[in-house]
Amino acid sequence: MKIVYASTPSQEEEICELVRYIYSNIFPLYFTDDEIHQFERLKVLHTSKKHFEEIGTLKDAFQVMASIQTLISILESPQLDEQYAPIFNKNVANLQEFGLYFPFEFDQFVEAKNMKNPMLSIYTKADNELLI
């Protein structure tokens, strides 16, 4: 008999929080608001109850979290070196194994970083909030 531990609700929340972080902190560095809106419609990194059933064990949930965190670390680096491409691709493949749609190539981010001028995005989190 083998004992398998199910993923916890806090892990599911963490995965959702990492996805929100990508939409609000990573995508605006590389893409326009229109493109990000299109990603939402295409359900890029969309998580549903079905996905969490596929991410059924603690190990699976940790793999998904680690893959997303690795992608975040790579994409937040000041310089996107080609040495990161294999790690990027491996983690994208891990996410796709668990049914999370992330249809990007490493080169797309390299090109977008070279072309993109920093601009204000509706997807970025506000730096400050007005308290009334």
How much is the pLDDT for 119?
A: 55
Question: pTM above the 0.95 mark?
Answer: no
pLDDT (0 to 100) of residue 55:
74
Quote the CA–CA distance of 52 and 84 in Å, as a whole number: 28
> Please, are residues 92 and 104 in contact by the beta-carbon 8 Å criterion?
yes
Eight-class DSSP state of 103: -
Report the alpha-carbon distance of residue 89 to residue 84 in Å, rounded: 9
Dump pLDDT digits (tens) for 32-82. 999 999 999 999 998 877 767 767 788 888 999 999 999 999 999 988 989
What is the identity of the amino acid at 131? L
* Residue 51 bridge partners (DSSP): none
Question: Alpha carbon of 112 to those of 14, 66, 99, 100: distances in Å?
Answer: 27, 24, 25, 22
In this prediction, residue 8 carries a pLDDT of 75
Could you tell me if 61 and 53 are in contact, meaning their C-beta atoms sit under 8 angstroms apart? no
Best CA proximity match to 114, nearest among 124, 106, 123, 122: 106
